Structure 1
Amino acid sequence: MLPRRRNAARFAGVLVASAVVSGGVFASSTAAQADEQIPVTVPTFAADDFIELAAQLPATLREAIERDLGVAPEQYLANAERARAASDAATVLRDRGVDVLGASIDGQDVTINVASEADAAVVEASGARVVVGPLEALESEREVQPARDHKGGYGYAYQVSEPDETGAFDLSRCSVGFSGYDPDGNSRFLTAGHCGVSEETGEQFTYPVHHIELDGPIWGTEDWAAEFPGPDLGEFVPGSFHYGDEHDGGLVDITDPEWTAVPQVAGWGGGAGAPDDASVTIRGPIDAVAGAQACKSGATSGWTCGEVLVPVQSTPVGEQAVTGFIFNACMLGGDSGGSVVVGNYALGVNSGSTHDGRTDCDTWNPAQSPTSDGDFSIGYSLATGQYNALTLLGNEWELAVAVATPVVASPEDGGETGPRPTFTGTVEAARSTHKVRLVIDGEQTYEGAVTDDGAFSVAVTDELAPGEHTYEITASYGNFSRSAAAEGTFTSTEQQVEELAVSSPSDGQTTGNARPSFTGTGQPGATVTLTVGDEVFGEATVGEDGSWTITPSADLPVGERFDATVTQSFEGDSQAVTVAGLGITVPPVTIAEPEDGATVTGDVVFSGTVYPGAELTLAIEGTVTESSERVQTAADEWAGELEIGEDGSWTFTPDEALENGEYTLTASAAVEGGDPELTTSETSVSFTVAGEGDDELPDTGSSNVWMIVVGVALLALGGVAIAVRARRNGTTA
């Protein structure tokens, strides 16, 4: 609400409206915009495609899957990939502004829960069933006890009290969650937060941590205590243990040089065998998806499997509240901190369960749904929801991931290439979170990206000298997880390839066309590709005359400066030219009513268009026609109604008509955070008000000029109109 000012002969009014609606780069996080982007899909996976991988699983783990889940191992792996795809789709949709409340899976059937019908319309193209509303929450009177008692799943033990007069002291034990690294690349593992916090004082333990040597799960025996302290392992990371306030995570440094952490989870022979029998390799993290088949590893009960009942829920664990996923695999005291996996993906760590002090899983009665009676467990998520280990401890810890050695498809080992070859191939089980690194002759280094199906491409941008060269390609995840190197040789031959050139657009050029054509010259028969960042916007073949043209297949970034790269590939030769600082201007603000030069009545409704997501400012000024027949009275407040549609169309309707006179209306638009050169625009129209009636705007009598100032913020995703008002200021200009 801004003041209105008066002087003797003129008036001015200002209307500010924030039209936050879908459209363009600046609203790419909204649901309505998401459906204009590449559709999000959730692919299905056939069990037959996983028979070979299933055969590589430890026999005892296959037995646990069949025993606890009632499915074949290959179906378990197919369902795990479907769960990962559902998890990835939910993450992408959230990044695009869709309010995803959760995802669930039943075999290969995926359901995504969203907050509104508008969100549902975006998700419909994914191939998943869409439900508006939250997932079902667990309702149970059962008490959840912390599984208090050390490769993921190992048991570890530690002193929790000072010795008494007899020299005796209390011990506790827990299980290792997932191996990883500290910021310097040293070994550090994730476990449950309650393992390292005193029940009596709430303070973190500072005693050393020791590995428990086991040849099978502990179950109910206390023999492990007689061997304490056992092999040295490490120490609690100071300040890293958090139990309560929805968290249950902590970190332990592996300080003994005898130990080397690996990205594996102890397999316990698939159930009750030795911990190193049938270990499971960790390929990366996964979000919790309802219905996903999850298996847990812990020092007390070894491997057990079940299903995720609820992906995210706050639940009392002991005396504290922990937010995590609820699943129905058996978990006993001492399993706390152990690993929970979906296939080869890290889901979270064991937090607590309804074990009621039992020492075996024979009487475990798994709950079959969130509303059914039965036993259930809580897992503290690695990455799901607001409260998770990576959010809590991500600055102090990085998950260790096994990265497969790249398989090079091109160029062939020992083969010939042009002077700028492009290396392509695959990395098994890798995703877009991975990277590849190519080193030529041990000196020249090039980076490349990996797609979600594991394919990679690395272009050598420098011209290599003719002759034989060596190469090494490694794949990586995060800062410290690395693959072994794929090595080979190739011969670079002299090749007369026409240089790639871009003739249009030029550096720094701007245009209002979101799909401007790129033109240039190059090697006849070569393939040229247009990219912005990691996204491909089109490709073409260079003609016999050496010319090429690419028209983008989708709108380029609007309202912000960006670099576009054109890459030419020809018989192993690769060249790239970058056009820097390009800009696409947003559509300018317009005034449709009144038209410039028009004569209108005093009850005119202003209308026009503005770029969705822009801030709209209307200013009106003019000279009122004097009338000796008019008796002018005071008015303290003027009101009107502003409406801005999702497509940016706007109208402003004053509640009281304008007086007869000559006016100029100016509309200005700007996008917050955008490049002003690309996102600001202004237009004006002049018009005359001429008409009769009693609805003319009154004046105070002290002048023939008035001013309206109006401030309003409008969220127009739902098309809601908000009243526009101006208040009189008693001072004079």
Structure 2
Amino acid sequence: MRLIAQCCAAVATAALIVLPAPAQAAPGDALHAALARDLGWDPARAAVHQAAEAASVPVEHALRARLGDRFGGAWYDSGLKVGIVDPADANVVRAAGASPVEVTRSEKSLAEGKARLDRTAASPDVHSWYVDPTSNSVVVQARTTSAARAFAGRAGVDAVPVVSEAPRPLYDIRGGDQYVINGNTLCSVGFSVNNGGFVTAGHCGGTGSPTLGHNNVAQGTFAGSSFPENDYAWVRTNSNWTPTPYVNNYSGGSVAVAGSQEAGVGASVCRSGRTTGWRCGTVQAKNVTVNYSGRLVHGLTSTTACAEGGDSGGAWLAGNQAQGVTSGGSGNCSSGGTTLFQPLNEILNVYGLQLTTTGGGSTSRIVGWQDKCIDVPNSNGAEGQRLQLWDCNGTAAQNWTFAGDGTIRAFGLCMDVAWGSRDNGAAIQLARCSGNPAQQFVLSAAGDLVNPQANKCVDVTSWGGTGTPLQQWECTGGTNQKWRRA
């Protein structure tokens, strides 16, 4: 068996990869909820707002053409506003359906001032400059007011100085993409984590090793690494890099990551890596101990998929469920081979990381029987605390985070079936998050909150009311086993 990082290869400069927008559900609710959240709009009026904004665009174009050098810019603010340098144009603007605003500078003169700034050398303290029609001015953003004024003065432009934070380029972290360790070793990204970075293979780099992204831009540093015995690591990235819940499918798109429920032996799995792209196979065996030239690694999963040098650390998926990161293998992608991966949930648990998913990390109440909530008694987030049904009150005792790894968390602990029991009547409690199957729960479309290990439901004992303890019970379809997020 061999490790499949690619060492000492020439590193070519790669173009910035722009991720395609993920497939969206029908616009409606999600879009309008976001507009309500970020703009304070009434969701019921969002479509009306957007229709009015769209209708203002041809009006703006027509008035710009008609007024020519007298056009003073346009902006939307509860209706289209148009700047006019000649008050005689007010009736023309009103007749077109817009509101006239008298200004002193035309859009053309402001654009000429901005063009002079474009031709003037700017110091690093100057961040950006643009024409602002709402204030009828050229704006210069800089670290200090004096830096902005000095820059505008060199260009001979009367500009408004604004103190701002320096902008920075933003890049996405995506599973399967290339990254570079210590300037000369090539590996592949595993999965993004909400802690700010990604998981990968431990043999790719030691703790403290610096990394560059797929575009050769400084990316981060190995915050933890274990090899041999294990083959896992995580890279903490800098603020220029944003975790995303996607894996490169090397066909011009990305696969969304919804969670990390472990697939069984015989299940189909696919992997992504910078050398051989997207390759698939089946799970052959779990808990495999591998001898890499005298260096033993335990707990790996063996598959029939192929991989080659540079694919190390890359992402493995079963459908939309994250499985692990590429460790090593034998053979190649021409004649076929066997490849092993380090299971993901162990990595997350060891480093206290949270997988970035399409829906993970969101927090809500879990509401069920009698419209009451799953509750931590007295907000006492202690290991072994049995959960109960209680009147919904919005406290932290009823805030549950669906972490994206199959766990449901509160107070830093996981919802758990006591002692990993498969029996009816086992207590539903809080416990230290350990990766145990007793801490995996799926809220089905039918409203059943199921522990897959036991294939049983979270149940309100004896159909009780406020203060009733929760238990595990065979799924019956009863309303005392039906739950929803709220």
Structure scoring higher RCO (CA < 8 A, sep ≥ 6) equals: 1
Q: TM-score range by the shorter chain?
A: 0.3 to 0.5
Task: Give TM-score scaled by structure 2 length.
Answer: 0.43
Larger % of helix: which? 2
TM-score (norm 1): 0.29
Structure with max Cα Rg: 1
